[in-house]
Amino acid sequence: LTSRLQKAFRDLSGKGHVSKSDLRKTMRQIRLALLDADVNFDVVRKFVRQVQDKAVGANVLEGLNPSQQIVKIVDEELTKTMGTKAVPLNKAKTIPTVIMMVGLQGAGKTTTAGKLALRLKTAHKAHPLMIAADVYRPAAVDQLVQVGQQIKVPVFQMGTHHDPVDIVKAGLAQAHRDHNNYVIIDTAGRLQIDTKLMNELKRIKALAKPNEILLTVDAMTGQNAVKTAKGFNDALDITGVALTKLDGDTRGGAALSIRAVTHKPIKFVGEGEKLQDLDIFHPDRMASRILGMGDILTLIDKAKKGYDKKKAEKLTKKIQENTFDFNDFLAQLNKIQHMGPLKNIMKLIPGMANNPIMKKANMNPKQMDHIKAIVYSMTKQERAHPEILTPSRKRRIARGSGRPIQIVNRVIKQFNSMKKLMNQMSNGNFGGLGKMNKM
């Protein structure tokens, strides 16, 4: 999706105005790109029509910078389709708030239950209880018990020889006794939606009266994710969605269509197997990500969380003032290597995801070291003022780093375009990322 859309925008940029046929061509490409990313056909059709209407209404044909306007409209409409704002968990008036996890087998229910419990515990100082109500897979109960031990959250279980409804009933009684303010029910899944599973879930729902029925969907299942979401929503009237495995090579298409088809908010996204890897779903950020602009907001969030806040602000300022230099670049590279799964972070830095050098480095950590070697071979002055890099200096750097001159040139070229892109984005020249300004 990303590269397709970017191509569509590239084709538009550099032109003084957009003709009707340009607009039609771009819309065609956007439609193909979305379909390519497994977005539901009807959603795509509706989406493209919305954007087209807006584009025409906004007088794009007479605008000063039509390509930017179209990017902005596409970004806004993507955000709107996904719900505009992050939606928090429902809360009960009197404790406990009951959250029921539902979804197909392997979607990530048990993992997400643990992630959610950890999040509630740390961010909301809550005392959750988890209930093991998957009695079909022999290891399911143990799995939840282990998750509970890891995060020090109690797990209620009765083995696998009871009716899940009875287990939930007993679990809720214990939660009342122990004054747990949250209860998370981990239910069974199937490989396919079937009546037996749905009937059991309906019975649990009728008993537990959950405040939140959180459907867990594997984002990597593409078009099937939409069918799953529709099936569960029709049967259970879910209240929210947790989209898992977004750390994989998924392209966000599922987020777009699940919301459009079920009209239920995506509340959380799973971004890894670890119990810390849960994030609130931000439609605007997802839109930017789908557009391939990198999710700079999330990145800055992460940087703030894991690193010095001041440093992150300084970096933002540097990007905005266009004084981002090779020292900053190096600092970023080092930071990235410390921030865990490189692939995740790469996607988040505008210009990096589609940067061929970075892509290579991403697949091969050795490449990353090569890039670093090149930067380390620069003098302090060269790093701070890349514009002084003359051919003879570049040759010296090539010798120093043991990399061919072509690679040195390429790294410098990529650095420059990345810098330019980051600056443009931070100054709001790329539609949706104008949000950066407000930071």
In the annotated binding site, the residues are 103-110, 186-190, 244-247
Which phi and psi angles does 101 have, rounded to 5°? Answer: -90, 125
List the single partner that 257 binds among Mg ion, ligand GDP, none, CB under 5 to 8 Å by kind: none
Q: Is residue 110 a contact point for Mg ion (CB under 5 A)?
A: yes
CB count, 10 Å around CB of 161?
A: 7
- Give the residue, chosen from 75, 212, 271, 295, that forms a contact with ligand GDP under the rule CB under 6 A: 271
Contact string 113-142 vs Mg ion (x = CB under 5 A): ---------------------------x--
**Closer by beta carbon to ligand GDP, 192 or else 323:** 192
Q: Is residue 105 a contact point for ligand GDP (CB under 6 A)?
A: yes
Nearest approach, Cβ of residue 216 and ligand GDP (Å): 6
Sign of the Cα torsion 349, 352, 358, 363 reads positive
Contacts 24+ apart (CB under 8 A), 8-11: 8/33, 9/67, 9/70, 9/71
- Give the residue, chosen from 128, 148, 171, 272, that forms a contact with ligand GDP under the rule CB under 6 A: 272
- Reading the block at residue 239, the tokens are 């209240």
**Closer by beta carbon to ligand GDP, 216 or else 401:** 216
List the single partner that 247 binds among Mg ion, ligand GDP, none, CB under 5 to 8 Å by kind: ligand GDP
List the single partner that 245 binds among Mg ion, ligand GDP, none, CB under 5 to 8 Å by kind: ligand GDP
Residues 6+ apart with CB under 8 A from 438: none
Nearest approach, Cβ of residue 347 and ligand GDP (Å): 14
- Reading the block at residue 363, the tokens are 């697949």
Q: Is residue 414 a contact point for ligand GDP (CB under 6 A)?
A: no
Distance CA 354, CA 365 (A): 17
Q: Is residue 110 a contact point for ligand GDP (CB under 6 A)?
A: yes
Q: Is residue 273 a contact point for ligand GDP (CB under 6 A)?
A: yes
Q: Is residue 107 a contact point for ligand GDP (CB under 6 A)?
A: yes
Site for Mg ion in 139-178 (CB under 5 A): 140
**Closer by beta carbon to ligand GDP, 205 or else 383:** 205
Distance CA 262, CA 275 (A): 27
DSSP per residue, 94-132: SSPEEEEEEESTTSSHHHHHHHHHHHHHHHH---EEEEE
Q: Which of 181, 189, 188 is nearest to 154 (CA)?
A: 181
- CA distances from residue 264 to 47, 177, 229, 308 in whole angstroms, order as listed: 17, 33, 9, 36
Q: Residues at the annotated binding site for GTP?
A: 103-110, 186-190, 244-247
Contact string 55-84 vs ligand GDP (x = CB under 6 A): ------------------------------
Q: Is residue 247 a contact point for ligand GDP (CB under 6 A)?
A: yes
- Which range in 110-118, 169-177, 315-323, 361-369 contacts Mg ion by CB under 5 A? 110-118
- Reading the block at residue 267, the tokens are 């509340």
- Reading the block at residue 215, the tokens are 């459907």
CB count, 10 Å around CB of 83?
A: 21
Applying CB under 6 A, the residues found at the interface with ligand GDP are 103, 105-111, 189, 216, 244-245, 247, 270-273, 277
